[in-house]
Chains A and B, each alone.
Chain A
Amino acid sequence: MDSKRRDFLKIAGLSAIAGLAVPSAFNTLLKGEAIASEHGEAAAAAGGHGAAAAKTGKRYGMVIDVKKFTENPGLADKCVSVCHTIHNVPDFGNKKDEIKWIWVDSFKHVFPDDSSQYKQPEGLNSLPILTLCNHCDNPPCVRACPTQATFRSKDGIVGMDYHRCIGCRFCMAACPYGARSFNWRDPRGKDANGQPFIKAENPKFPTRMRGVVEKCNFCTERLAIGQIPACVEAAAQSKALVFGDLNDPNSEISQVLKTTFTIQRKPSAGTHPSLFYII
């Protein structure tokens, strides 16, 4: 082969590779920019220097009234168990492999920055608090995920596509709230006594597989058929959980947030959680 022909083939090969890779990368880059500018507006509002965040479309949120949970002992556990049952969340019986979508932790752990206050009410630090994925408006987990297996959908819910997750656990390092769990082993397995980790399978919902990350999905499968999230339904009688559209000024949740002082977890992280707490 003469050298000219060889050079030509080299160039042709290289351009073919570039031609395949560039357009798709470019497309996603543009898509990424669109998401970024959306976040930009929200971020400006957070700093208090810009206009309020754009209020288009739905954005689901939740108010957690801790006082009502204190009045109704056992209610929080009911919320946890109902969620874990309908979503086929396994119970491995140890902390190392633990998977949880929603759980109860003490105030000092859920709000580590607020627990260092010099003088505060007695018993505050050990107050049990219900906690779950914050479905952030500006989610660091979505930014970190290399495959878009975790993503923010149009209604503000941070979702997971378990088919696409490669199990790199970058999202777990990125989440400032410890809301994500990894399937360290097969969730469909059995313990030493032959008891399955998923006590009773819900035939309407899938399980997960070994090697993927999972978390609360704000019951997106229930919202789609007009139901409210399972935990909210479990706490309906006491109204301890208020769920709704934060962008709708007339929704119940907007009314609560207008009239009640609430706090959020780690607001300084700039993530704009969709969960609000009445302490």
Chain B
Amino acid sequence: MYGKGRIIPALILFLGVMTSPMWYKSGDISKLPKPEKPKDYTECVAPTAYMRTSHMVLLNQWRDDILREDGPRTGKTANGTEYVRSLQNGCMKCHSDKKKFCDTCHNYTSVKPYCWDCHLQPKEAM
């Protein structure tokens, strides 16, 4: 390879710099986020594993279904409890503390969803 002496060290340096955040934080399990779940409720609209990975998918589905397809505004959980298919008027009714629930994971993963640019969070948590 032409210019081997410079390219390979440069590549290694580049990879090192790019992956430095991983080295810097590696293995520190104590910093894992622990979102606080609502105390008075035992079940969510879907299993925890699904909610953890796909809550945005669900919210987007609700929105498109209600706005565009004239879909129902309410749904029932597996145990038959009725809930409102809405972030502001549904989710936040149980998960009323945005800071202790939403923000814990979002801050950890450095995700900045724009939900709260429009949707209002429950007053007591503000």
Contact (Cβ within 8 A) B73 A162:
no
Give bound CA distance, A204 to B114, whole Å: 18
Chain A positions 101-156 with a Cβ under 8 Å from a chain B Cβ? 151, 153-155
Q: 1/0 contact trace for A262-279 toward B, CB 8 Å?
A: 000000000000000000
B100 contacts the other chain (CB 8 A):
no
Chain B residue nearest to A204 (CB atoms) is B89
- Name B80-122 residues within 8 Å CB distance of A: 88-89, 114, 117-120, 122
Interface residues of A in 179-217 (CB under 8 A from B): 188, 201, 203-210
Q: A residues within 8 A CB of B66?
A: 224
Q: Which residue of B lies closest to A152 (CB)?
A: B68
The main secondary structure of chain A at its interface with chain B is loop
Taken together as a complex, chains A and B put the C-alpha atoms of A164 and B19 apart, in Å, by 34
Q: Which residue of B lies closest to A58 (CB)?
A: B70
A208 touches B118 (CB 8 A): yes
Query: Are A225 and B73 in contact, with the CB atoms below 8 A?
Result: yes
Bound: A63/B50 CA distance, A: 47
Specify which chain A residues have a CB less than 8 angstroms from the CB of B122 in the assembled complex.
203
Least CB distance, B115 to chain A, in whole angstroms: 9
Q: What are 10 of the A-B contact pairs (CB < 8 Å)? A: A151-B68, A159-B68, A203-B88, A203-B122, A204-B88, A204-B89, A206-B88, A206-B119, A207-B120, A225-B73
Question: Closest CB-CB distance, A160 to chain B, in whole Å?
Answer: 9
User: Counting CB contacts under 8 A, is A5 at the interface?
Assistant: no
A155 to B67, CA, bound (A): 11
In the bound assembly, the distance between CA atoms of A87 and B75 in angstroms comes to: 24
Q: Could you say which of A153, A188, A207, A225 contacts B70, with CB atoms under 8 Å apart?
A: A153
Supplied contacts A208-B118, A225-B73, 5 more A-B pairs, CB within 8 Å: A163-B63, A205-B120, A207-B120, A210-B117, A224-B73
- For A151, the chain B residues whose CB sits under 8 A away are 67-68
User: Which A residues are closer than 8 A to B by beta carbons?
Assistant: 151, 153-155, 159, 161-163, 188, 201, 203-210, 224-225
Say whether B123 faces chain A, with CB atoms less than 8 Å apart. yes
The residue of chain A having its C-beta at the shortest distance from the C-beta of B64 within the complex is A161
**Residue ranges of B at the interface with A (Cβ–Cβ < 8 Å):** 63-64, 66-70, 73, 88-89, 114, 117-120, 122-123
**Contacts A204-B89, A224-B73, A225-B73; A209 near B67 (Cβ below 8 A):** no
* A210 → B minimal CB distance (Å): 8
Would you call B73 and A206 a contact (CB within 8 A)? no
- Whole-angstrom distance between the alpha carbons of A204 and B92 in the complex? 11
Are A203 and B63 touching (Cβ within 8 A)? no
Contact A155 B70 (CB under 8 A): yes
A159 touching B73, Cβ below 8 Å? no
Q: How far is the CA of A3 from the CA of B120 in the complex (A)?
A: 60
Please name the residue on chain B nearest to A207 by beta carbon: B118
| Contact present for A161 and B63 (CB under 8 Å) | yes
Q: CB < 8 Å: which of A153, A203, A210, A225 contacts B120?
A: A203
Closest Cβ of chain A: how far from B123's Cβ, in Å?
6
Q: How far is the CA of A206 from the CA of B118 in the complex (A)?
A: 5
User: With the chains together, A162 CA to B122 CA distance in Å?
Assistant: 21
Q: Which A residues are in CB contact (< 8 Å) with B88?
A: 203-206
Q: How many Å from the CB of B116 to the closest CB on chain A?
A: 10
Cross-chain contact A159 with B67 (CB below 8 angstroms):
yes
Which residues does chain A contribute within 8 Å of B118, judged by CB atoms? 162, 206-209
* Distance A163 CA – B89 CA, assembled complex (angstroms): 17
- The distance in angstroms between the C-alpha atoms of A64 and B89, with both chains bound, is 32
Chain A residues whose C-beta falls within 8 Å of the C-beta of B117 in the assembled complex: 188, 209-210
* Complex CA distance for A224 and B114, rounded to whole angstroms: 25
Q: When chains A and B are docked, how far (Å) is the Cα of A225 from the Cα of B89? A: 13
Separation of A61 and B64 alpha carbons in the complex (Å): 23
